[in-house]
Amino acid sequence: MSASEIGTKGNRHSGHTARVAERQDCWTRVIGPERPMLSIPLKEIWNYRDLLLLLVRRDFVALYKQTILGPIWFVLQPVMMTIVFTIVFGNIANISTDGLPHMLFYLGGITMWTYFQETLMKTSETFTLNASIFGKVYFPRVIVPLSVVVSGLLKFMVQFALFICFVFYFTVVDPHIAPNAAVLLLPMLLLLMGMLGLGLGMIISALTTKYRDLRFLMTFGVQLLMYATPVIYPISTIPDAYRPFILANPMTPLIETFRFAFTGAGTVDVWHLVYSAVVAVLLLFVAMVIFNQIEKNFMDTV
């Protein structure tokens, strides 16, 4: 082999090596086996924002697809629950509503509680319901619970519009009902509500990959939690001996503040809201740690 042939082959090899190195530098996604315990892939979430919107559309549209009433269920469900609560707790049990009309009082609590409940329930099934997708395609797994929070917010806006109609009507009928400046806190209340539902749901979702019994306890537990939240009663009716236990529920200040903001009745305390905010942040912190740990090997247990 001549020196010129050796030089030509050497040049070809170096050129091939350069092309391989250049190709490696052009990868748009590097998937590694390890991820820090507390890692929120904000950049990946932004890059997959189209998938997030697609999942939101799927959750919002497919929920009542091939149903007779369709999106009317968004309005019909809270109205039916409000009527039942009015008959059972308002007329039969005669539970106080701080002087508010029963329909308005219960609808306000149901509107906020439904958003939290559905966020918690659907987020808690993240791994079990999406195991087939997670095993085939890579994308930031946290996008799935985030899509539940956003789609639940869209449903909340529909029910919130219904609640506002009731507020306008009773404001005209009863001059004691008066929305106030606390309505400006609504974005913060929704943010904290979403964080609580997201954090608790992600923790339960991670645990259900190993402990399937939690799925059977979820429905029962959420129902009990509703009775530990001022949805069907105001804080003012709780005896002093039990009030600390109700206030320990971080949902309590959020629902009470929401009701006070739009009706003028209720109990509002800034420190209670601060407590809810601290709990929401800590819960989401713990949820991200557990979620990232389970994400690494959940396919072996699901």
Domain boundaries, the chain: 53-300
Cβ atoms of 263 and 108 closer than 8 Å: yes
DSSP-derived secondary structure for 106-140: HHHHHHHHHHHHHHHHHHTTHHHHSHHHHTT--S-
pLDDT at 36: 56
Nearest Cα to Cα of residue 116 among 288, 290, 258: 258
Q: Which long-range contacts (CB under 8 A, 24 or more apart) does 229-233 make?
A: 229/109, 229/113, 229/255, 230/109, 230/255, 230/256, 231/106, 231/109, 231/110, 231/113, 231/255, 232/85, 232/89, 232/95, 232/106, 232/109, 233/89, 233/95, 233/96, 233/97
Mean pLDDT throughout 103-132? 86
Q: Which is nearest to 207 in space by CA: 149, 129, 290, 147?
A: 290
The residue with greater pLDDT, 139 or 230, is: 230
Residue 95 has pLDDT above 80, yes or no: yes
Chain-wide mean pLDDT for the chain? 80
pTM for the complete prediction? 0.81
Q: Lowest-pLDDT range, 3-17, 42-56, 80-94, 187-201?
A: 3-17
**What is the Cα–Cα distance from 48 to 133, expressed in whole angstroms?**
15
- Taking 90 as the threshold, does the pLDDT of residue 301 lie above it? no
Q: What pLDDT score does 28 carry?
A: 57
CA distances from 243 to 90, 228, 237, 252 (A): 21, 10, 9, 11
Please tell me the predicted confidence (pLDDT) of residue 86.
Answer: 92
Average pLDDT over residues 197-212: 83
Q: 195, 284 in Cβ contact below 8 A?
A: yes
DSSP state of 301: T
Radius of gyration over every alpha carbon of the chain, rounded to an integer in angstroms: 26
CA distance 2 to 5: 5
Of 15-29, 184-198, 215-229, 245-259, which range is least confident?
A: 15-29
Q: How confident is the model at residue 1 (pLDDT cuts 50, 70, 90)?
A: low
Q: Is the pLDDT of residue 279 over 60?
A: yes
Q: Which residue has the tokens 């059972």?
A: 88
Residues 6+ apart with CB under 8 A from 199: 280, 283, 284, 285, 286, 287
Q: Which residue has the higher pLDDT, 9 or 67?
A: 67
**In the chain, what percentage of residues exceed pLDDT 70?**
79
pLDDT tens digit sequence for 24-34: 455 555 555 45
As given in the structure block, the two tokens for residue 192 are 């904290």
**Is residue 154 predicted with pLDDT exceeding 60?**
yes
Looking at per-residue pLDDT, the higher value among 59 and 201 belongs to 201
pLDDT of residue 165: 93
The pLDDT tens digits for 232-277 are: 998 888 888 889 999 999 999 999 999 999 998 887 889 999 999 9
* Average confidence (pLDDT) over 102-119: 92
pLDDT band at 6 (very low <50, low <70, confident <90, very high): very low
